[in-house]
Amino acid sequence: MASIKLDFYLTYFKRKPFDEPSGARVRNNLKLFDFGSDYTYFYSILPGNNKDLRVLTDSLQSIIEGDYCLISIIYDQGRPFVVGIRTDWLINQVRNLPSDLDDIIAKVLSNWNNQYSLFTLKYSLFHKEYQQAVNPDLLAKSYFFQFILLFIDDLYTQILSKTAKNFKEIDLRRIKEVEAQITYDFKKSTPSINEMAKMAGMSVSKFKNLFSELFKTSPHQHILEKKMMYAQSLLQTGKYSITQVAYQVGYHHPSGFTRVFKQKFNHSPNTSYFEKS
């Protein structure tokens, strides 16, 4: 899997006055996109020769003001990105944010660097789509909000981990994340139970028990159920052949897909396909 490097920097910006031409140059060079209110949260495509967050502070001081968390995302040879989030906004989103924010963010980003993390999966897909997007700015905006939501959720999980009574809730959150990873792209082969447990960072028996408690069925049965429901929805559009749908849900041969589909719905996929056609 491709390498993703993450770094962060907590700093305070005191906005400096600037003349309009220089301010325009800063905005143009940084391609700063403000999705909050007065830069509550934003992202930017960094200049190719500037991947150090601390070097950016002089440029950003002419645009933003206040305490910020800056997170840089560098993907192999791709363009580096930076995400900026106002600290006071973060505190409002994650209640009771402790004073050791540096340590908590470092743990979150360390987890994100794991090749099995949901962030790694989503960012890899984002980078692939970004290179071919008709409107890359709109695509970046949609993924940006997903990353912000994931960041807030993972911060909250780290805060919960400080209290022993919250351990089970954290384990359930990890299982939800693993389930989200697997069902995010059905074209990939379904991991084994051992691999799923490794992704969640727990033993196989613990993973199976908690998964069954959460979803009321076994891991593979749950994933198979979601695959078949997704396949049925694709067939009912009338836009895809059985072979195409089989590929979309991870089957290399239509015969294997047809057999499983028939076991689930008591009729072959041809029925759904031709009824719509």
Host domain of residue 265: 219-276
Report d(CA 222, CA 179) in Å as an integer.
9
CATH number of the CATH domain containing 233: 1.10.10.60
Q: What is the pLDDT of residue 208?
A: 92
Identify the DSSP state of 189: P
Residue ending a domain, choose from 162, 179, 200: 162
CA-nearest of 97, 87, 103 to 13 is 87
Segment 8-28 shows an average pLDDT of 60
Beta strands per DSSP E along 14-87 = 32-34, 41-45, 66-75, 81-86
CA distance 60 to 243: 51
pLDDT score recorded for residue 160: 74
Report if residue 27 sits inside a domain: yes
Question: Facing residues of 12 across strands?
Answer: 67
The predicted structure's pLDDT at residue 227 = 92
The type of residue at 166 is: N
Looking at the structure, tell me whether residues 39 and 119 fall in a common domain. Answer: yes
Q: Within 10 Å of residue 86's Cβ, how many Cβ atoms?
A: 22
Q: What is the pTM of this model?
A: 0.63
The predicted pLDDT at position 24 comes to 44
d(C-alpha 107, C-alpha 104), whole Å: 5
Angle at which helix 219-236 crosses helix 269-276, to 10 degrees, equals 30
In a shared domain, residues 156 and 255: no
Give the domain-ending residue among 119, 137, 162.
162
The rounded distance, in Å, linking the Cα atoms of 41 and 85 is: 4
End-to-end CA distance of the chain: 40
Residues 22 and 150 in one domain: yes
Average pLDDT value for the chain = 81
Residue 193 is assigned to a structural domain of this protein: no
Share of the chain above pLDDT 70, in %: 83
Q: Where are the beta strands (DSSP E) in 77-215?
A: 81-86
Structural domain includes residue 268: yes
Looking at the domain assignment, is residue 102 inside a domain? yes
Q: Are residues 232 and 137 in the same domain?
A: no
Number of independent structural domains in the chain: 2
The residue from 146, 162, 178 where one domain ends is: 162
Q: What's the whole-number mean pLDDT along residues 7-30?
A: 61
**Domain co-membership, 13 together with 142:** yes
> Using one digit for the tens of pLDDT, what is the confidence trace for 45-75?
776 655 566 667 777 777 888 888 888 888 7
Nearest to 259 by CA among 228, 236, 235, 222: 228
Alpha-carbon distance 62 to 109, whole Å?
28
Q: Which of 19-23, 154-158, 162-166, 224-228 has the highest mean pLDDT?
A: 224-228
Which phi and psi angles does 10 have, rounded to 5°? -100, 125
